[in-house]
Amino acid sequence: MKLIFLGTGTSQGVPMIGSTRAVSFSSDKRDKRLRTSAMIVTDDGKNILIDCGPDFRYQMLRAGKDDIEAILFTHAHADHTAGIDDIRPICYLKGKDIDLYARGEVIDALKERFAYIFQEGENRYPGAPSVKAHEIDKEPFTVAGVEIIPLRASHAWTDVMGFRVGSFAYLTDVKTIYEDTYRLLEGVETLVINCLRLTDPHPTHMILPEALKVVERIKPVRAYFTHISETMGFHAEAQTHMPSGVYLAYDTLEIEI
């Protein structure tokens, strides 16, 4: 299997509208970050999406992808959910429902914000995306033949859900990790986790020293940081602050998992 980083930016992306920071004018493609999302591609070519933010349409076109089996939602914030309407052509062209997997409160939020998608009966808008929502909590579940283990973590004022597949784990928008989740992360070889910036603590996101403590505890073979803000600065320069085996992810990066 492989993972494609569809987007690695924070909620406002990089560059941010109106920003005058030097990184906003960088010619390095690694400094152009869409909102955070990733795609697991199975060995038989099935695509499992992690989060569906406002840049979803362009991310799919850029990656040359035209199908997904399911969406795994980490949490309900707009930068991770606001692209759900753009699954419409997949539902129409492929003639299929898209399975959504999320915690109950996330499904409730989606139903409130996108009521027309979940509406049933004769008043349902015929062009709305066709979905099937599945509530997840602690129990592993299977998508496209792949077992997925939910990983609960804290985003300060709300919980988020990460996911483990084999020796790979993905966690974003995390401030702290619960002890029972650390036990589920034992043996992880490839870790993806958020790292907002180098310094200046944030109330809901890890910065570099916090993210490195997590890496040190889990001890993966390699770790990739995502959900990166413009205050991280230039990719090439920020990478020099990373220890061996730790990398800043960037949009379109593909890794084997």
pLDDT tens digits along 178-231:
999 999 999 999 999 999 999 999 999 999 999 999 999 999 999 999 999 999
For residue 128, give the CATH number of its domain. Answer: 3.60.15.10
pLDDT at residue 123 is higher than 90:
no
Mean pLDDT of the chain: 97
pLDDT at 126 exceeding the cut of 90: no
| Cβ atoms within 10 Å of 109's Cβ, excluding its own | 18
Give CA separation, 130 vs 3, 77, 110, 120, 162, in Å: 25, 21, 13, 10, 25
Q: What is the residue range of 135's domain?
A: 2-256
Number of domains in the chain: 1
The per-residue pLDDT for range 140-181, each reduced to its tens digit, is 999 999 999 999 999 999 999 999 999 999 999 999 999 999
